[in-house]
Every structure is written in structure tokens, then in C-alpha cells.
Structure 1
Amino acid sequence: MATVDITGEQFASTVEDNDIVLVDFWAEWCGPCKQFGPTYSAVSEKHPDVVFSKVDTEAEQQLAAEAGITSIPTLMAFREKVLVFSQPGALNAQQLEQVVDAVKALDMEEVHAHVARSQAEAAASAPKQDGTQIPDA
């Protein structure tokens, strides 16, 4: 599958509607982005079961800011709507293949359980509406 350019309007539905989504945050003026682009495209052809998307950070500045992008290129990987990988810097083909293989190999039951535990812990330590802390059990 070839790479797909996505906008801020398409980002959420792309992540929600696909099992595995890689996102390359890039810009036209970025030398390392230009070097990474052909590698990203070539690896995408080997994995038709993965959506390889690209976000132009110049055209999609709000999305880049919401995603916390401070350096480009930045590669993010989502599996079952969960961000499971995020790293700035261009990867070579072997490194990118390793990321794809690792994302495919994840035990998503374990990942979802970890996310649920983290959310429960955050909720338990959040201040109550009146500003007081909920005591630990």
C-alpha cells in the first residue's frame, strides 16, 4: 500500500478505522524528512495490512502541535487506537521494518490492560471537584 497524506480532519478517523497506522510527521524543507520519505514509501509497499500515512507539519500546524511534534521527522505508530511508538528522527529501512514488526507483534490485551490501569491510577489521584485529594486505598 502506498503512503497516504492525511489532514487534521482525517487523523482521528484514520487511527480509529484501521488496526495499525504509522504516521510520518514531515515538512518539505526538512532534509532528513526528504531522506526518510523514499524509505517510508518502500517499506509501505511490503505491508499492505498497515496504513502508512504522512502529515505535512507546515500545512497541518495545529495537528502537529496537538500531537506534540517538536522535531521532524517524527514517526508515530498506533495499534487498535493506542499510541504504541513515537520517535523523532529518520530511520533506515531495517529500523523501520523492526518498528513495523514490533507493532504487529504486540500483545494488545496486555497493552489495553496497561492503558486501563494507567487511566484508573490517574483518576484515583485526581483532585475531587472540591479540590481535595482522594485518599489512597
Structure 2
Amino acid sequence: MSVVSLDSKSFGPALARPGILLIHWGASWCAPSRTFGPGFEQVARRHPDVTFAKVDVDAQPELVEVLGVQALPALMVFRDGFLLLNHVGALLAPMLEDLIRQARALDMDDVRRKVAEYRASKVRVRVGLHAE
């Protein structure tokens, strides 16, 4: 699969799709971003079931602000809309392969259960703090 470019309109739908999404945040003026790109594209070709995307930070400042990207290159890994990794710095292809392996191995039903438990505990805390 080729690497797709994301913008403010396509970001939400890409994130909403089930499965693994890797996003490379970079810029043409950033040497480490340029170095990271070919390895990212190489790994993308080996994993057609994974969505590989890039965001040009100069063209998408609103996404940069909303997602809090502060350094380049940055890599975000999502699965089923859950952010699994927010990494700053270039990674080698074997590291990307390992991240994909780890993302695939996650039991997403367990992740959803734990998130629901966490959210429920936060609601109880808030209610307890505001009770009279």
C-alpha cells in the first residue's frame, strides 16, 4: 500500500477506520523527516492491511496544533482510533516492523474494557468531589 497524505478533512475519517494507522509528521525542510520517509514507505509496501499516512506540518498547521506535534519527525501509531504511540525521531524499518507487530498483538477488547473502567472511575471521582 502506498503512503497517503492527510489533511484536516481526511484525518478524522482515517482515524475512524478500524485497524492500524501509522502517521509520519514531517516537513520538506527537515533532514531527519526526509531520511525517515523512504524507510516508512518501504515498510508500507510490505503491510497492505495497515494504513500509512503522512502529514506535511507546514501545510496542516491546524492538525499540528490539535495533535500537539512539537518536534520532527514524529510518528503516531493508532489502532481502532486509540493512540498507542507518540514518538519523536526517525525510526529504522525493523523498528517500524516491531511496532506493527506489537499493535497487531493487542487485545483490543481488553483495551476497550480498561478504557471504559478508567473513564467510569473518573466519573465517580468527579461526582465525589462535587457532592455536598
Aligned residue in 2 for 1:98: 98
In 2, Cα distance between the equivalents of 1:125 and 1:89? Answer: 37
User: What corresponds to 2:41 in structure 1?
Assistant: 41
> Secondary structure of 1:66's match?
helix
The match for 1:6 is: 6
TM-score, with length taken from structure 1:
0.89
Secondary structure at the counterpart of residue 97 of structure 1 = helix
Kept in 2: contact 1:23–1:53 (CA 8 A): yes
For 1:44 and 1:114, the matched residues in 2 are separated by 30
> Take 1:98 and 1:113, find their aligned partners in 2: how far apart are those partners?
25
Shift of the alpha carbon at 1:134?
A: 4.2
- How far did residue 125 of structure 1 move? 2.4
1:71 counterpart residue number: 71
Letter in 2 for 1:14: A
Residue-pair matches, total: 131
Q: Secondary structure at the match of 1:86?
A: strand
Work out the CA distance in 1 between the residues paired with 2:70 and 2:121.
28
AA aligned to 2:46 is: K
Greater shift in the superposed pair: 112-121 or 54-63: 112-121
Aligned to 1:133: 129
- Contact 1:21–1:77 (Cα < 8 Å) also in 2: yes
Q: Tell me the C-alpha RMSD between the 2 structures.
A: 1.5
Q: Which 4+ residue blocks in structure 1 deviate beyond 3 angstroms?
A: none
Superposition deviation, residue 121 in structure 1: 2.2
Match of 2:123 in 1: 123
**Runs of 5+ unmatched residues, structure 1:** none
What residue is the counterpart of 1:57 in the other structure? 57
Task: Quote the offset at 1:8 in angstroms.
Answer: 1.2
Q: Structure 2: which 5+ runs fail to align? A: none
Q: Give SS of 1:8's match.
A: coil
CA distance in 2, matches of 1:67, 1:114: 23
User: What is the aligned partner in structure 2 of residue 15 from structure 1?
Assistant: 15
